[in-house]
A and B are shown apart, each in its own frame.
Chain A
Amino acid sequence: MKYVIYIIQSLMLLLLTPLFMGIIKNLKASIRGYEACPVLQPYYNIAKLFEKGRVLSKSSSIITLIAPTLCLCACVTAAFMVPVFFNDGNPFVGNLFIIIFLLGIVKFFITLTGLDSASAFGGMGSSRELFISMIAEPVMFLTVAFLYMETKSLNIFAINTAVAGMAGFDVANCIAAMGFAVLLVAENARMPVDNPETHLELTMIHEAMILDTSGRDLALMELSSWIKLMVFVTIFINCFFPMGMTGAVAFVPVILSFIAYILKVLVILAVISLVECSMAKFRLFRVPELLSAAFSLSLVAIVINFF
């Protein structure tokens, strides 16, 4: 029964992801004061893209053919490695490093896709993406180190249980959460690191790399970047704010926990939309400053915990 819930929760995460994207679009529209598309629009978009044929570049190689599938598979696998709203201590999977490196598959293949079609846009996007992810790597290391020092485990299920069991809510946890939030933004191509809405060469990072994919491939790429964002959000929630999480195999607690999860996700999505509506994108060479701020925050959190 317990394993059925594990599978169901990850399936829910995967199925609801386009809805969450629709909610972000809606929230942004209402903040900016214009009429929004239907909340379910991302589902229609994906369905539409699956119907369409695809255009391949003359220059492209096998990378363009396999990358979308591999990216999506990596994200789906990662989604099955994290607790969403039910956690009874999964002994088989959940090593944080493995989850992060699984999501790294997306980075590896998406940057190769950028180079594959011989377009200047793609190369530019890959170069910028790798630049940002290189600078972001230390923040990732520090966050995992912080969680290990706090809970003595690298397993996200155990981390979740341990953080949920902490008596008070300490300062270090909040500071580390702030650092991880910046990392979340940087790794998932959101404002102020990357603007997910434009196709202007000055601002593109993520969009530049998938500029030459179309049809089914584009659908898979879009889905994988959305799932990646939601997996990061889920990790964020379950490592830093695991209130309301249940471990009981019963109907009511699971439903309550599910509602708590949805509420937390909605708060985070609201923050993301607010940031995206109120800030301009950073110049590329100011992104390291943002990430070093995140770095300092995580370092402070570790130092607080150490002494």
Chain B
Amino acid sequence: MYMHDFLSVFFIVLIVITALPNVIYSFGYLEEYRKDYSLKYLWGMMALFILSMAGVVISADGVSFMIFWELMSVSSFFLVIFEHKKGENIKSGIMYFIMTHISGLLVMTMFILTAKFTGTYDFNVLTAGAANITDQQRLAILILALAGFGSKAGLVPLHAWLPKAHPAAPSNVSAMMSGIMLKIAIYGFIRVAFIFAKDVSVYFGVAVMLVGTITAIYAVINSLAQNDIKKLLAYSSSENIGMIFAVLGLALILRSLGLRSLSALALAAAMFHVLNHGIFKSLLFMSAGSVLFAAASKNMNELGGLYRKMKFASTCALVGTAAIAAVPPLNGFAGEILIYGSFIQALSAVRIPWIAMTILFCGIILALTGGGVVWASVKSFGMTYLGEPRSRKAEEVHEVPAAMKAGMAVLAGFAVLFGVFSPFIINLIYGWTSGDPAASAVGYEVTIVSAVLLLAVSALYLAGKMLSKKGVADEVRGTWACGFNDFKPYMEYSPDGFVQPGMRIFGNAAGYRKEVKVDGAVHTRARIKDVIEANVYLRVIKAVDYLAARIIKIHYGKIQIYVSYIFVSLIVSLILVLRFV
């Protein structure tokens, strides 16, 4: 038995179209690792990882879902620690391992509770509506689903593993984790909150929307502050997940208020953004991988000017960057206008003031997030590929192999296609979410505008060709260095300086501190930290340490004491089982 409704098929399509280019890319990318690590191990784990993700999506009962889910977690853990000779990677990997198991535990509890309340693990029975559970029971299941799937997807405050695991993993693996694995968690959430739970309290919808919005704004500020490309992308993944959850929350609110068609529109917007994010984030992680491959650095302070050495890969990266910055007619743009559109339409349809104002607030924050995304993406592309090299590493760049280029080109093509022909895809998704296959959510305006844009570009290009025949040649000169004739790369704008105005206003959310040191010359540097990690996670770890130090006292080291422990706990559990089950 397996699931083959639209939702599962949709996610299978997502897995196929992003995993295949990734595999092509890996043929080139992994050559770098051949001398130090075992490639067989990596390919085997990757195959297991992809298959287990597909398994999660098509499994038709809670038990097989959990088995594939755990396989997915474990195989991705082994992929994250692939470069095990670097100590830092093992630390990040263990952090990921713990977080992913917290998520697994919550999801497992959720399925067990579902089975206890409804008497079945079977998804088809649940879908058909074994709806004789009370509101409290449903709320318990939904909260567990939000926490469990949310921590796997990277919602604040359970996001802290993302910016650690993604940079540690090889880039093709981070592309797969960010592009697909996070989406599998969203699949789980949609399955539980939209299909199993037939009606959800409006408060839960508001909570989901708020959590998503807070994630989006928190992650975008942190992604702005990063100088490591892969960390920037990891936070940006968290930001996109936040945006998707905000729209899912909106859809839940609208559904519980009885606004079916708007709810279907919001759900379609979320699912379309899932697809888009899978495409462009895979592409961007692959370009980060090609930068790492070519220049052996992912720190923007050492990069710059890569465009001249690797033209094709940079062009693909430009497409990905433009897609995430919502530049028409690429797919990020098509998704974003749908999200903003559904927020605005919801705003004027909901007539309950406090809910409408919350929706407005979330819409405003998401708009601010959209502005931040443009900034972060321009930073990551401009600092890496444009200007002059900032270090020797960026000067001695070698071209990337053809397989990597092919993988990226396929995804760049998808980014364009899914943007230009977005109305067809959106209407397809909307046909399922609204329950009426013939319904259409958007007109074909995006396609028309893309055609006009293409027409304008080609007309102007031809006109330019004709005008430039007059024989005025281009001159190539060095950039004016403000009177210093000797241009130095450090005269360029630095990645830190580029986002400094934003950090001055929003920096508290990224723990931004500027340090100035004077010794002959003035040195300034910016420090950042993940505020939530520093304030919440470390305290939890301290508390666990403290408790462990207390509990260790019962380990006296005598066999008789341990036997008596076993005996006492047996009696206690017998009593519990007989009394309460």
Beta-carbon contact of A72 and B460 below 8 Å: yes
Alpha-carbon gap, A115 to B345, bound state (A): 38
Interface string of A109-122 (1 = CB under 8 A from B): 00110011111111
A178, CB-defined interface residue at 8 Å: no
Beta-carbon contact of B368 and A138 below 8 Å: yes
Residues of B within 8 A of A116 (CB): 382, 386-387
Scan residues 305-357 of chain B and give those whose CB is less than 8 A from a CB of chain A.
305, 307-308, 311, 314-315, 318, 322, 325-328, 333, 336-337, 340-341, 343-345, 347-348, 353, 356
Q: Is the interface of B mostly helix, strand, loop or mixed?
A: helix
- Tell me, rounded to whole Å, the shortest Cβ–Cβ distance linking B40 to chain A: 39
A55-B475, A105-B328 known; A123-B493 Cβ under 8 A = yes
Alpha-carbon gap, A122 to B366, bound state (A): 28
Residues of A within 8 A of B499 (CB): 127
How many residues of chain B get a CB closer than 8 Å to chain A's CBs? 84
Interface string of B467-478 (1 = CB under 8 A from A): 110101111111
A120-B491, A145-B347 known; A98-B449 Cβ under 8 A = yes
- Tell me, rounded to whole Å, the shortest Cβ–Cβ distance linking A223 to chain B: 11
Beta-carbon contact of B452 and A77 below 8 Å: yes
Interface string of A79-112 (1 = CB under 8 A from B): 0110000000001111101100110110110011
A61-B385, A105-B328 known; A77-B501 Cβ under 8 A = no
Scan residues 114-166 of chain A and give those whose CB is less than 8 A from a CB of chain B.
115-124, 126-128, 130-131, 133-138, 140-142, 144-145, 148-149, 152, 154
- Tell me, rounded to whole Å, the shortest Cβ–Cβ distance linking B296 to chain A: 21
Select from chain B the residue with minimum beta-carbon distance to A145.
B344
Select from chain B the residue with minimum beta-carbon distance to A149.
B348
Residues of A within 8 A of B487 (CB): 118
A50, CB-defined interface residue at 8 Å: yes
Alpha-carbon gap, A239 to B379, bound state (A): 34
- Tell me, rounded to whole Å, the shortest Cβ–Cβ distance linking B65 to chain A: 38
Interface string of A292-307 (1 = CB under 8 A from B): 0000000000100011
Beta-carbon contact of B453 and A115 below 8 Å: no
Beta-carbon contact of A104 and B374 below 8 Å: yes
Stretch at the interface among A25-33, A62-70, A169-177, A229-237: A62-70
A274, CB-defined interface residue at 8 Å: no
A52, CB-defined interface residue at 8 Å: yes
B504, CB-defined interface residue at 8 Å: yes
Residue in A55, A120, A123, A133 whose CB lies within 8 Å of B371 = A133
13 further interface pairs, Cβ-Cβ under 8 Å (given A58-B479, A104-B374, A148-B344): A54-B472, A56-B476, A57-B478, A69-B464, A73-B453, A80-B452, A93-B449, A112-B386, A127-B500, A133-B374, A138-B364, A138-B368, A149-B344
Interchain Cβ contacts under 8 Å between A and B, 20 examples = A57-B476, A57-B478, A59-B387, A61-B308, A74-B328, A77-B452, A92-B443, A105-B327, A115-B383, A118-B305, A118-B386, A118-B479, A119-B491, A122-B493, A128-B501, A131-B375, A135-B368, A144-B340, A285-B504, A288-B505
